[in-house]
Structure 1
């Protein structure tokens, strides 16, 4: 549990049992419901011994994993796991729809401003709004954790793969690429590039070997553009046979393999730009920032036997000896936004068709608030906890972790936490997540 002193400054986190005892004894109050934060009434930072915590960040295209942990003698102990689910796809779709509406208005010769082309300059370091959203939301959670925990250091994956090492293994000292780490970089890159399937028969869910498209016995190199994945039967059948001879009767497969071998990993440039933008933002916090690659994270994870999730990747980022323990559950924070400034809804042509109410609060509740409802009778009888959507009728909808409950009267609802632009759920740690 996250703990603050009586002035709202972060203290060392405690166990749930300790937090329950403090609340029962009246020594603490609930500062925040989700994530759960308590505030002590009789303790200050000066009266406490603070070891400090570290934060690991594993950026992803759809979700980012964040782990809060302590480190002692090279061993990490996980305290909190958060999976941040972005809405970059929604932002992209809305921008595309807006651009289409504007183009449509101009083409219909309506009374609308003429197109202008003198305002298209992009500043240094510009990112597309969908990518900037990923950086901003991740930094928002890092700033929150700094307010709730005594963060001393941040670990982040800056690139998914060390492409310089892949293209030229001797770019640095031989000690850098010796051992298993370079092999993990290559294998993970190929698994992502070839979609974890055999390049020759498209088999999935089976062991895959790294295969040289142009065999080494015939002068083929170890460059990443000459490597692919093959299942054991295809790898043995091909052997040192040239790929054009091996696929003589399958010219379409040959053309696909040669084309895909020259194509870099999809979205690699965009992901690298976002990760480095995140690194620059993290360095501006003044905290020490340690960087690592995705290949090293996977190497660490295999050594500790942890499953593949964003939050466990965040826990295994960077240099470590072992992981003692990780949380049993993950807090999933889905970005929902804080509503919109629009006061109308438009039709398919972009013209207003209805007007929205100007006030956002109804009977003291606003859409996005975290609420707890106890309905005593009727078909909706029971206890419902989740995110509320208000209606001017006074009968609200509540989105729980499992379903949508509609038409609950406001007198049965109790506020737990004001809307902060996020929807929260929990899931067991170790479940596969978004990319």
Structure 2
């Protein structure tokens, strides 16, 4: 089952209806189609305020680092019903792209005439309360989707799962004492000395002691290895050179020698660092209430729901729903980059990022969006909604489903 958002002639937000009912109103010329994915219609008459359904509509958000579940639940007189659920796929390449841009800028600066350093003039990098761009972009992507939904439907209250992750406990492997939280978890310049002292100034691979020791990241930094002492080992320069570039083949035995472990903080840190910013921005949209992950898990188990981000978002809304009502379309939502690297504007009426259907000769069909256009042979590259990449497919077998506009709703 899929629901449709409804607006009246003046743009007032009405209660959602079923898609088949919306198509009936369009056929009877009582409404016009404003958007197909997700479906939004606008009635041709104005609805008096006294006739507008005032039932509360709640938004649930299951925050995450890579995937975010959202759901809209309408509180009705008979029984509550979910009218929308989806999973937002967040981008994870922001840090790498910023690093590439930084390299381009430094190269350009070094090859120009002398100009004074600009770092101290950049107030944005020194302002109080600043969060990393990679974290801020993820939270802004969530807000983009919610603001878009808010244009089509009322949101009377927002329920957000408050993420509580103890980063220090993840690092140490146990719940630290209160006084341990006051000590820095980053030894910085002294971390090398701490590792060498722990390993008794001995190479943990060949056992040599009468040489200068080097500290090696067991899981390398390029693979998100941490600077924790649990991820470092002492090696001589010869052994260090042998394992460099081939670290993953030595991880297991090195971790066993130092009794360390692979620790990935990035996902937990991204959620924790950006949650205050997200909460403050959501308060500008509607009143917000916080819930806990334990309550969400218990309710989901009691209701017999499958564990997904979208189902968790339904449970987060403090509204009792029937499990069979949760079996509605789960939208995959992809907020896309505003900047596009396209070189061709359009070919045969198809544009970059258009959502299309490709029909093969054996009647097999793909739902995909266009990622590249080749006008010389009337071909294109496609990426299906499952993530499969199709290269050099002919445009003659494409059917345009919807023109892209900032966010993919699949």
TM over 0.5: yes
Mark the CA change 1:398 to 1:252 in structure 2 (over 3 Å): closer, same or farther. closer
What is residue 11 of structure 2 aligned with on the other side?
A: 8
- Any conservation in 2 of the 1:9–1:45 contact (CA below 8 Å)? no
Q: 1:420 aligns with which of 397, 402, 405?
A: 405
What is residue 296 of structure 1 aligned with on the other side?
A: 295
What is residue 110 of structure 1 aligned with on the other side?
A: 111
- Is residue 275 of structure 1 aligned with residue 259 of structure 2? no
- Any conservation in 1 of the 2:65–2:267 contact (CA below 8 Å)? no
- Is residue 86 of structure 1 aligned with residue 90 of structure 2? yes
Q: 1:74 Cα deviation (Å)?
A: 11
- Any conservation in 1 of the 2:355–2:400 contact (CA below 8 Å)? yes
- Is residue 386 of structure 1 aligned with residue 368 of structure 2? yes
- Is residue 396 of structure 1 aligned with residue 374 of structure 2? no
What is residue 335 of structure 2 aligned with on the other side?
A: 335
Helix, strand or coil at the partner of 2:299: helix
Structure 2 distance, partners of 1:321, 1:74, is: 11
Q: 1:303 Cα deviation (Å)?
A: 2.4
Number of aligned residue pairs: 326
Pairwise CA RMSD = 4.0
What is residue 22 of structure 2 aligned with on the other side?
A: 19
Task: Within 5 Å, give how 1:146-165 maps onto structure 2.
Answer: 146-161=150-165
- Any conservation in 1 of the 2:59–2:317 contact (CA below 8 Å)? no
Helix, strand or coil at the partner of 2:160: strand
Mark the CA change 1:306 to 1:224 in structure 2 (over 3 Å): closer, same or farther. farther
Mark the CA change 1:117 to 1:300 in structure 2 (over 3 Å): closer, same or farther. same
> What does the per-residue CA deviation read over 1:108-146, in whole Å, with 9 as the maximum and x for residues that have no partner?
x53366543313443233222211111111111111111
Mark the CA change 1:66 to 1:98 in structure 2 (over 3 Å): closer, same or farther. same
Q: 1:291 Cα deviation (Å)?
A: 1.2
Structure 2 distance, partners of 1:117, 1:221, is: 39
Mark the CA change 1:304 to 1:222 in structure 2 (over 3 Å): closer, same or farther. farther
Q: 1:288 Cα deviation (Å)?
A: 1.5
Structure 2 distance, partners of 1:91, 1:295, is: 31
Helix, strand or coil at the partner of 1:149: coil
> What does the per-residue CA deviation read over 1:208-242, in whole Å, with 9 as the maximum and x for residues that have no partner?
xxxxx89xxxxx999999xxxxxxxxxxxxxxxxx
What is residue 142 of structure 1 aligned with on the other side?
A: 146
What is residue 244 of structure 1 aligned with on the other side?
A: none
Query: Which runs of 5 or more structure 2 residues have no equivalent in the other structure?
Result: 182-252
Q: 1:67 Cα deviation (Å)?
A: 0.4
Query: Which runs of 5 or more structure 1 residues have no equivalent in the other structure?
Result: 168-189, 200-212, 215-219, 226-249, 344-355, 426-435
TM-score by length of 2: 0.66
What is residue 229 of structure 2 aligned with on the other side?
A: none
Structure 1 distance, partners of 2:264, 2:404, is: 41
Helix, strand or coil at the partner of 1:316: helix
Mark the CA change 1:295 to 1:76 in structure 2 (over 3 Å): closer, same or farther. farther
Helix, strand or coil at the partner of 2:281: helix
Q: 1:53 Cα deviation (Å)?
A: 1.6
TM-score by length of 1: 0.63
Structure 1 distance, partners of 2:336, 2:131, is: 21
What is residue 34 of structure 2 aligned with on the other side?
A: 31
Structure 2 distance, partners of 1:320, 1:409, is: 47
What is residue 243 of structure 1 aligned with on the other side?
A: none
Structure 2 distance, partners of 1:222, 1:322, is: 42
Structure 2 distance, partners of 1:224, 1:318, is: 37
- Any conservation in 2 of the 1:390–1:396 contact (CA below 8 Å)? yes
Task: Within 5 Å, give how 1:239-388 maps onto structure 2.
Answer: 256=259, 267-285=267-285, 287-317=286-316, 319-321=318-320, 323-324=322-323, 325-340=325-340, 356=343, 360-372=345-357, 385-388=367-370
Mark the CA change 1:45 to 1:418 in structure 2 (over 3 Å): closer, same or farther. farther
Structure 1 distance, partners of 2:178, 2:315, is: 29
Structure 1 distance, partners of 2:179, 2:78, is: 35
Mark the CA change 1:312 to 1:99 in structure 2 (over 3 Å): closer, same or farther. same
Structure 2 distance, partners of 1:266, 1:414, is: 41
Structure 2 distance, partners of 1:256, 1:315, is: 42
